[in-house]
Structures are given as structure tokens and as C-alpha cells.
Chains A and B, each alone.
Chain A
Amino acid sequence: MAPHAPPEEMLVDYAAGNLAEPLALLVATHASLNRESRREVQLLESVGGAMLETLPPAEMSDGALDSVLAQMDDTDAGGDGDGASSSMVGEAAPPSGGSAPTQVQNDGVPAPLRPYVGSDLHALPWRERGGSVAEYRFLDGRNGYRTRLMRIRAGCKVPSHTHRGCEYTLVIEGGFSDTQGDYFPGDVAVADADVTHQPVAWPDRDCICLTVLDAPVRMTGPMGRILNLFVDF
């Protein structure tokens, strides 16, 4: 496992399709940036493929194949946007060795994140959260998760805080340090109620992170709600 990767069971849950969308997004984005986790996910997806082979086949209806064959002809234009790609389904790079990567001029928003936030993070309607921190929320309230991009000004600190549920922070741009270590793009920090920390963005540039706060239903009563406002970063 990469040092700042999500726990392995989360990668298993990703491969099996058992994560809620916010966490699936975090894992997919992380794995797109981190080769080791990408290979781990590919392996875990292969386990899924092997498992599929062990299932006793279910009987298809009569004419199932014909019905599919019939649909081919009218829709054979390709590119149906079926969302069926996976970590293994991308357009393969030509197997030529040594050619320079051609897609480098991309602005660097990882592909899985782009459908949610576009390809220019700096153009987003950031909301100042006071001091040096701004946020852009999306997928709001999905399954009790809180999903957002956080931007910490270069060299600035996030107020010291602890967490109600589990907080997953994936560095997209720049980087930060806290008591647990230094985090580079692609790195994931996991912090829960046992962790109090004060992330500090590196001095050279703003740090942009994808943060998913996993605080499902444990918000008990109005007091919890109020506390939560202060607790989350």
C-alpha cells in the first residue's frame, strides 16, 4: 500500500461497488493519481472478475440474444456514454515505448473529478469560510456525507479541530502537513474522532483538497449539529 492511501478495505469496497458516491469519487481520484493504488484496484477488480466466474449462471430468457442483436444495428454509432469504462477500460495508449506523454497540457484536474467540478478549479464559486480557508460544496448531503473541495491559502493554517465521523482528505493541488505527515497530490489523509490536527498548507502555493466527511446519522440532537459546524474544517 502507498503510505498515504485509503485503507485497503476501502479499495475492496471500491472494486466491489460498495462505496457511496462521495467515497467512490475520492478513491477513484486517488487511484488515478497514485500508481500503486491504481494497480491495487485493478487487482481487486480482477478478483471481482474471478468471482463472477464462480457464480452459478442464471437462465436468460428466450430470445435474449436476438433482442440484443436487434438493438445493435440502430445504435451502432458507438460512444453511447454508458459510463461503462473502468480503471481498465480507458482508451489504451499505443504500446510504443518511449514516446512522450501527449496529454500533458491538461490542466491537471483528475478525470474522475471533472464531471463534478469542471476543469478549472480556480474558476469555481468558492465560498470563504473565514481566514485562509474557502470551500466548494457538491454532492450535498448525499447519504449523510459532506463532500467538498477545500482551498487553503499558501502557508496558512486550518484551525485546529477534531472530527465527528471519519474525514478523508485527498490532495489535488499543492500540499499540506499536519501531525501525521506531509501530504502530496494524490495522498489521502484519514482522520477520525481520535485525531486533532491543524493542517498547514505549504508556503509555495494554495492547497486544494477533496474532502469527504463521513458522518452518517451520528448527529444526535441540536447540540451535535451546532458542534458539527465548528468541528468540520
Chain B
Amino acid sequence: MDRTGAEPTTSFADLLEAVAQRRDKQAFAALFSHFAPRVKAYLRRMGADDSLAEELAQDCLLTVWRRAHLFDRRQAGVSTWIFTIARNKRVDALRRERWPNVDPDDPSSLTDKSANADSVIEAAQREGRLREAVETLPQEQATLLRMAYFDEKSHSAIAAELELPLGTVKSRLRLALGRLKTCLEDIR
């Protein structure tokens, strides 16, 4: 199960930090060649036509360049960070709505430092582990996750499309997420 070490997940974070600290364009180009085609695929899948998906994918990577200094490798893997940027752009462009973001350290809540301390090193590792877990999910669970994440389908829409009771959809989804969480537990 130790494919994670061979995956370039950790070096994505290094590349992004090189962009943040040195405005390193070569590092950026490497990130671009990996992520732009995936972000574009995501946007196509969410219903953007080819030219809009292309434009938004470029815009998304430009945002990566501009906001690299906000990336915190202790909190998120690079794929995750870029996924949230792409998600927000998608909502903004395709739905014309603003996406309200969670405040990672809201002053009115307790400071989250202690909570983060135990996940400091693992964000990239966690992401690699999750990817493996997602790839090995049983077909029916993977299908549900794809529909939720890539087809903009609410749970009731998924249920209708798969002709399943809503309760079944919810419990399968919970099962899938439970499985993913279990895969993460041993690196906590």
C-alpha cells in the first residue's frame, strides 16, 4: 500500500511553496501541466463547454499563482486546495452565485492550532492515502461519490437517477465516507 511515497504529492507542496516564496515559474509550469487538464476535466464534467472550461481552468491556475502564499501545507494537500478553488470558480461562473467559505480560524471559536498540530505533516500523506482509498472503493460507492462531487447531484437527485430509495443513497454514501475515514485513521 505504499504507493504514496512514489506519488508526487509531497513535491506538489514543494512546488507550490517555490511559487509562493520565489515566484518560481518553472515550478508553476509543473503544477500547471498536472492540474490544468484535471481542472478542465472537472469543469467539462460539471457542464462547461470546451472553451469555457479552458478559460476557467486557466483562470483557476492563475489564481493558484496569485494565492500561492495562502496555501498552508499543514492544512491541505495541493489537490485539495486546487479542488476548492475550482469548485468556487465553477459555482461563480456556472451558477452565478457566491460561494461562502469556511473561516479556518474564526476568532469566535477556539484557536485551532492544537487540532492542527497532529495533522501538520500529514496533509499530503493523507491526500495520497485518500486517493488510493477512493480508487479502491466498491463500484456502487464510487459511483455515488462521483455523482455527488462531479455531477452536482443532490442526494435525492442521485436516488431518483439510480432508482434507489433516498435512505439507501444516504447509507451508501456514509459507508463510503466511513471507509475513507478508516483509511486515514492509522496515520493520525
Contact = CB atoms under 8 A, between A and B. Distances in A.
Interface of A: 8-9, 12-13, 15-18, 20-21, 24-25, 28-29, 31-35, 38-39, 41-61, 64-65, 67-69, 71-72, 75-76, 78, 80, 82-93, 95, 97, 101, 103-104, 106, 108, 110-113, 115, 185-186
Nearest to B133: A50
Nearest to B7: A53
Given A38-B109, A86-B102, 15 more contacts: A12-B177, A32-B108, A33-B108, A46-B80, A50-B79, A51-B149, A57-B41, A64-B32, A68-B65, A71-B62, A80-B63, A82-B63, A92-B70, A103-B105, A113-B100
Contacts of B45: 55
Of B28, B61, B145, most A-chain CB atoms within 10 Å: B145
Interface residues of B, number: 91
Contacts of B79: 49-50, 52-53
A17 B103 contact: no
Given A9-B170, A28-B102, A90-B103, A51 B134 contact: yes
Contact of A8 (B106, B152, B177): B177
Contacts of A17: 87-88, 90-91, 99, 152
Contacts of B57: 60, 64
Interface string B40-72: 111011000000011001100111011101111
Grouping DSSP codes into helix (H, G, I), strand (E, B) and loop, the B interface class, with mixed when no group exceeds half, is: helix
30 contacts: A21-B97, A24-B97, A31-B102, A35-B115, A39-B115, A47-B134, A47-B177, A48-B149, A49-B79, A49-B80, A49-B83, A50-B131, A51-B146, A52-B83, A53-B131, A54-B131, A58-B53, A60-B37, A76-B66, A85-B70, A87-B101, A88-B76, A89-B67, A90-B72, A90-B103, A95-B74, A101-B107, A108-B108, A110-B103, A115-B100
A49 B127 contact: yes
Contacts of B184: 43
A84 B83 contact: no
Given A48-B83, A49-B79, A54-B135, A82 B102 contact: no
Interface in B84-121: 84-92, 97-113, 115, 117, 120
Given A9-B173, A12-B173, A51-B149, A85 B127 contact: no
A68 B82 contact: no
Contact of B108 (A15, A39, A75, A110): A110
B82 A52 contact: yes
B180 interface: yes
A75 B62 CA distance: 10
B106 A51 contact: no
A104 B65 CA distance: 31
B158 to A, nearest CB: 10
Contact of A9 (B37, B67, B155): B155
Contact of B63 (A13, A84, A87, A88): A84
A113 B126 CA distance: 30
Nearest to B64: A84
A48 B33 CA distance: 19
A97 B36 CA distance: 37
